[in-house]
Amino acid sequence: MEFKSHETYYYHTYAGDMKYYDHDKTLYAPTFPIEWAKNHLPDTGPECCKNCKIFGFWNGVFLGYCVKCAEKYEGKRGNGFIFYGEEKKKLENSNSAFNTYLKDVDLDTIGDKKICDSAAVIDEINTYEIEDYNCFSYVSCYGSNFDGGYDSY
Ligand SMILES: [Zn+2]
């Protein structure tokens, strides 16, 4: 049986605020519940879902699930992200990310702009009307140069 060790590291600013944590080589927003990071349903989350890899990230760290994945959790893990830093609005769901683990979180202070500056990306999209700028290319360079290429070896 293959043994996979689960490792978690925490990254802080000099002032002591947590910027993100690294669980199994995926970077998460500081307040993203670690119990969830340890328990993604199959095909959901930052490692397995293409949409999560794009819109679920902010400043290079995983902020929350995409809309499709959020539905698989029946909204218990938020409404799902439809754009960088933008969660789908669902008034009937009190478990929206910005009502729970992202409440009062200043997105400007989390993650690492050296990995990806999401606010700048949004500016660029708005300025040049780029349609598919994908921040994840930065993230994948950071973690792995392969895009799901492990199987071919
Ligand atoms: Zn997803």
106 CA distance to ligand 1 middle (Å): 23
| pLDDT value at residue 100 | 96
Neighbours of 153 (CB within 10 A): 5
pLDDT of the residue at 90:
87
Structure confidence at residue 149 (pLDDT): 39
36 alpha carbon – ligand 1 mean position (Å): 13
Distance (Å) from CA 48 to ligand 1 centroid: 8
Ligand 1 center from residue 43 Cα (angstroms): 8
How far is the C-alpha of 55 from the C-alpha of 134, rounded, in Å? 9
CA distances 84 to 12, 17, 60, Å, are 23, 22, 11
Q: Is the pTM here over 0.95, yes or no? A: no
- CA–CA separation, 54 vs 113, rounded Å? 16
- Residues 106-122: tens digit of each pLDDT: 999 999 999 999 999 88
Q: How far is the CA of 79 from the centre of ligand 1 (A)?
A: 11
66 C-alpha to ligand 1 centroid (Å):
4
Locate tokens 């439809």: which residue?
82
pLDDT of the residue at 4: 62
- 136 closest CA partner among 63, 43, 32: 63
Distance 15 CA to ligand 1 centre (A): 33
Closest CA to 78 of 87, 20, 104: 87
Residues of the chain where predicted confidence (pLDDT) is lower than 70:
1-4, 129-153
- Given this model, what pLDDT does residue 123 score? 87
Please give the pLDDT value at position 8.
94
CA of 68 to the centre of ligand 1 (A): 6
Predicted local confidence at residue 135, as pLDDT? 53
Ligand 1 centroid vs 128 CA: distance in angstroms? 26
